Amino acid sequence: MMNNSVEVAGLVVRRGGTTVLPGLDLAITAGSITGLLGPSGSGKTTLIRCIAGVQAVRSGTVTVLGEPAGSAANRARVGYVTQASSVYPDLTIEQNLRFFADLAGAEHDRIAEVLDAVDLAAHRRSLADNLSGGQRTRVSLAAALVADPQVYLLDEPTVGLDPALRRDLWHLFADLAHDGATLLVSSHVMDEAARCDRVLLLREGRLIADATPQGLRADAGTDDLDEAFLRIAERKAA
Ligand SMILES: Nc1ncnc2c1ncn2[C@@H]1O[C@H](COP(=O)(O)OP(=O)(O)OP(=O)(O)O)[C@@H](O)[C@H]1O
């Protein structure tokens, strides 16, 4: 499997009678941050669901850490943070994290560190139901962190967060990758692409670019990543 944590080959997915992914091939290098960008409806969540192993697939293969996506072996090795909050509203933040640590067979001594990392230590005894949207997003992220997975699938993890928190989370992502984890992070925000080792641009379920941020800028002939995306999209449409 070389140095790839994720390998996708000939992936075709239909949802609601429409072909959402018409045949995707890609590989994601271990120990790196890959940004998944593209317009709303381009198939980012669908691709992440395939890698998490929760999406019905028409054809093709998705291999994660050498095993088919969704296999039992990958359950504790892959952390998937969806756009919807996945925490229990009637438990405190700390109780939620204990529950998710137990589910993953992880030690509880990681919980305090994780609470600090997502800046929720002061709220650890608050019921999840009483949190703001941005705080709940961070509890969902913390639930993935306590399990200490090898692969993180993060679907728009910074939506609704203020700039300081977004910056802190991107530092956390960089630390995780530095320690060997593989992160796939979807986003609508091009300035977040600049923080990735590599960027995948999706449009209508097709990969229209797979490059470093620097490579994207050079390819499009502009320093502005928003503009680079538009230029690449227009070129592919022509
Ligand atoms: N549950 C569903 N049933 C049928 N079609 C769906 C379903 N969920 C998504 N789709 C369709 O699949 C396509 C890709 O959706 P997807 O959620 O993967 O895109 P996305 O790039 O993640 O969008 P966004 O950035 O808005 O979250 C869209 O055309 C969408 O309408």
What's the pLDDT tens digit per position in 176-225?
Answer: 999 999 999 999 888 899 999 999 999 999 999 999 999 999 999 999 99
Residue 41 Cβ inside 6 Å of ligand 1? The answer reads yes
Position 143 in a domain: no
pTM of the model: 0.94
Q: Give the pLDDT confidence score for residue 207 in this predicted structure.
A: 96
User: For the segment 76-91, what is each residue's pLDDT rounded down to a tens digit?
Assistant: 899 999 988 788 999 9
In this prediction, what percent of the chain has a pLDDT beyond 70?
Answer: 99
Q: Which domain holds residue 64?
A: 1-77+151-161+182-238
Position 196 in a domain: yes
The domain total for the chain is 1
Which domain CATH number covers 62? 3.40.50.300
Position 120 in a domain: no
Position 207 in a domain: yes
- Say how many C-beta atoms besides its own lie within 10 A of residue 127's C-beta: 15
Position 108 in a domain: no
Q: Give the pLDDT confidence score for residue 45 in this predicted structure.
A: 96
Mutate to test the pocket of ligand 1, among 12, 15, 36, 81 (most ligand atoms within 8 A of CB): 15
The CA 21 to ligand 1 mean position distance, Å, reads: 10
The CA 19 to ligand 1 mean position distance, Å, reads: 11
Residue 203 Cβ inside 6 Å of ligand 1? The answer reads no
Residue 49 Cβ inside 6 Å of ligand 1? The answer reads no
User: For the segment 19-51, what is each residue's pLDDT rounded down to a tens digit?
Assistant: 999 999 999 999 999 999 999 999 999 999 999
